[in-house]
Amino acid sequence: MESARGPPRVKNKAAAPIQISAEQLLREAVDRQETGIQAPTQRFADLEELHEFQGRKRKGFEDYVRRNRINMNNWMRYAAWELEQKEFKRARSIFERALDVDATSVVLWIRYIEAEMRNRNINHARNLLDRAVTILPRVDKLWYKYVYMEEMLGNIPGTRQVFERWMEWEPDEAAWGAYIKLEKRYGEYERARAIFERFTIVRPEPRNWIKWAKFEEEFGTSDLVREVFGAAVEALGDEFVDERLFIAYARFEAKLKEYERARAIYKYALDRLPRSKSMGLHKAYTTFEKQYGDKDGVEDVVLSKRRRIYEDQIKENPKNYDIWFDYARLEETAGDLDRVRDVYERAVAQIPPTQEKRHWRRYIYLWIFYALWEEMEAKDIARARQIYKLCLDLIPHKKFTFAKVWLLKAQFEIRQGELTAARKSLGQAIGMCPKDKLFKGYVELELKLFEFVRCRTLYEKHIEWNPANCQTWIKFSELERGLDDLERTRAIFELAINQPVLDMPELLWKAYIDFEEEEGEYDKTRDLYERLLEKTDHVKVWISYAHFEINIPEEEEEEAEDGSEERPVSEEAKARARKVFERAYKSMKEKDLKEERVSLLNAWLSFERTHGSEEDVEKVQKQMPRKTKRRRRLEDDTFEEYIDYVFPADDEQRQDISKMLAMASAWKEGGGSFT
């Protein structure tokens, strides 16, 4: 049974309190090994036995290297064994044979060189290093080994000579750094300076110039540091110069308390470098101003940074109006009126390239913000009025217009007390380029002034221009109803519903019906429902009609017996509503509108559960359909499943037809007689 359960699980997977390493286990195993089972130490009685043993080992090694010549590990093990036997000539022979096989094996060269160095064969090691760097001049490890050996031997001129040979191959920065450190260790600063000069020519990266500047800062003079930085800026040019170079230069000057020099360096760099290459420079300049500048200096550096960003973005895409918005807000916070006007003037000069409204939607807000700023902040009313005029003159009103600009212009004139100018401006807009928003804004203006006659005139013009706008008809009727002129309200509704084209006729009919119902004209409301049903047979209209019949209050009805506010529904109201449901059901059944019949039955069932008896509820429930899944063929000869409804009445009708067909078939088979 235990084998069926599998191996036991480890319950505690936490680390042991005392950790034991593999090395410790091996040492303990060796220490505790019994003497009887230890590996025997091989002893040789005379030289003949030793030579015989060496011969067997050499034969084995020779077999190894003969079978797999390209495996350098066999050669190196062979040579290491000969070195243990103090057979240096044999070991050299093996290394040389291995180099004949693969002279590019760096590990083999290192083992060979270290073997000679370990046995103090310096000249042999030097010759080997010379051969190695000649064959493999791009392997830095061999050069490092060479210069390390020469320096350890105290041969500084020889070390310098090796470095010079190495530098001719233009190695990486670490090699140049090692050469410079050599000269610094022995106080040869002029030589180190000359190496730096060659180094920056071969590797003209900004970080290498910074290294040279730090060297001069430590071992030279401030003038030499400035010369290095100046030479770096001149040599790299605008294309390759880096912000780190200017930051290091400015920090050096700040360290010498030359704050004006440092500030000049920062500004010079910010003017030359693009924003994408000067993020760190801006940050360093900000920190510098916080440390050594005043409040105005800090704000100025922040503003200059943001201005630089916006200018670069505008240079890339002058038609990006969102950047102009941000730029204008920046200058508005700075409070310099001339700068703000300059930005806005430059922004509005970027006219969209085409006369398509989608290209003008963002651009037009530049004019709006400009005019509002002149009015609210700069308090220059004449200039604001001129901006509105220029903006309206610029818009191609024959193709499109912006109602917002006309309305803002009118509101501006009203704030200045120029009501006549405001009306003139809106009248001009309606005459040139009428829009629904313009009419709506003009009416709202006159409503606030209680100029109802003007409102009527505007509504009439609006309806004349766009008779399909249902919202205008509804607002017009609300105005007349608010003025308690019900006949005019009713006349407006009648004109509206008789229009041949309406954008939202359902809202208009609903508003008309709600108006008559709220005014207590229930017969007229019922007549409206009947007229609406002649135009549309929508299920929602029928349901709304039934709910209306339920909610008609009866004059002789009293409040509920328990004193609650809920009014009991009379039997007559229930009968009328039930009659509406029956008419609707019959109409939809004749038109075979299954989903509409289901919605109607659900509403009817809810009505009966609230106001009817159990028999009425059961009667409706019997008419409820059952769902069934069917398949139908699509145009691409594929099939899809859909939900179909099977009504009991339709099912019974189909069964009656089937019975009649069966009886007709039986009559035919019986010779045409049932007797």
DSSP annotation string for 439-497 = HHHHHHHHHHTT-HHHHHHHHHHHHHH-TT-HHHHHHHHHHHHHTT-HHHHHHHHHHHH
Task: Please report the pLDDT score of residue 642 as a whole number.
Answer: 63
DSSP 87-139: -HHHHHHHHHHHHHH-TT-HHHHHHHHHHHHHTT-HHHHHHHHHHHHHH-TT-
H or E element: which one contains 64?
Answer: helix 47-67
Task: Please report the pLDDT score of residue 158 as a whole number.
Answer: 92
Higher confidence at residue 146 or residue 674? 146
Q: Which residues of 389-398 are buried (b: 16+ CB within 10 A; e: fewer)?
A: eebbeebeee
Residue 369 has pLDDT above 90, yes or no: yes
Residue 449 has pLDDT above 50, yes or no: yes
Task: Please report the pLDDT score of residue 670 as a whole number.
Answer: 61
Percent of the residues in the chain that have a pLDDT greater than 90, as a whole number: 23
Residue 290 has pLDDT above 90, yes or no: no
Q: Which of these, 569, 603, 571, 570, lies nearest to 584 by C-alpha position?
A: 603
Higher confidence at residue 620 or residue 410? 410
Task: Please report the pLDDT score of residue 182 as a whole number.
Answer: 92
Structure tokens at 393: 């003159």
Q: How confident is the model at residue 559 (pLDDT cuts 50, 70, 90)?
A: very low
Least confident of 69-83, 191-205, 281-295, 654-668: 654-668
Least confident of 454-463, 556-565, 661-670: 556-565
Task: Please report the pLDDT score of residue 344 as a whole number.
Answer: 92
- pLDDT average, residue stretch 596-612: 82
- pLDDT average, residue stretch 268-290: 79
Longest dimension (CA), the chain: 143
- pLDDT average, residue stretch 204-231: 90
- pLDDT average, residue stretch 551-558: 59
Task: Please provide the average confidence, as pLDDT, over all residues in the chain.
Answer: 83
Task: Please report the pLDDT score of residue 557 as a whole number.
Answer: 41
Q: Are 116 and 128 in contact (CB under 8 A)?
A: yes
Task: Please report the pLDDT score of residue 675 as a whole number.
Answer: 43
Q: How confident is the model at residue 2 (pLDDT cuts 50, 70, 90)?
A: very low
Cβ partners under 8 Å of residue 223, min gap 6: none
Task: Please report the pLDDT score of residue 562 as a whole number.
Answer: 45
- pLDDT average, residue stretch 1-6: 48
Residue 118 has pLDDT above 80, yes or no: yes
Q: What pLDDT digit, counting tens, does each position of 570-590 carry? A: 778 788 888 888 888 888 777
- pLDDT average, residue stretch 638-662: 62
- pLDDT average, residue stretch 510-533: 86
Least confident of 378-387, 443-452, 571-580: 571-580
Sign of CA dihedral 371, 372, 377, 379: positive
Question: Among all chains, which residue has been given the structure tokens 């680390």?
Answer: 15
Residue 180 has pLDDT above 70, yes or no: yes
User: Can you tell me the distance from the alpha carbon of 408 to that of 385, in angstroms, rounded to the nearest whole number?
Assistant: 11
User: Can you tell me the distance from the alpha carbon of 173 to that of 171, in angstroms, rounded to the nearest whole number?
Assistant: 7
Residue 135 has pLDDT above 50, yes or no: yes
Q: Are 651 and 625 in contact (CB under 8 A)?
A: no
Q: Are 330 and 305 in contact (CB under 8 A)?
A: no
Residue 652 has pLDDT above 60, yes or no: no
Residue 70 has pLDDT above 90, yes or no: no
User: Can you tell me the distance from the alpha carbon of 477 to that of 516, in angstroms, rounded to the nearest whole number?
Assistant: 12
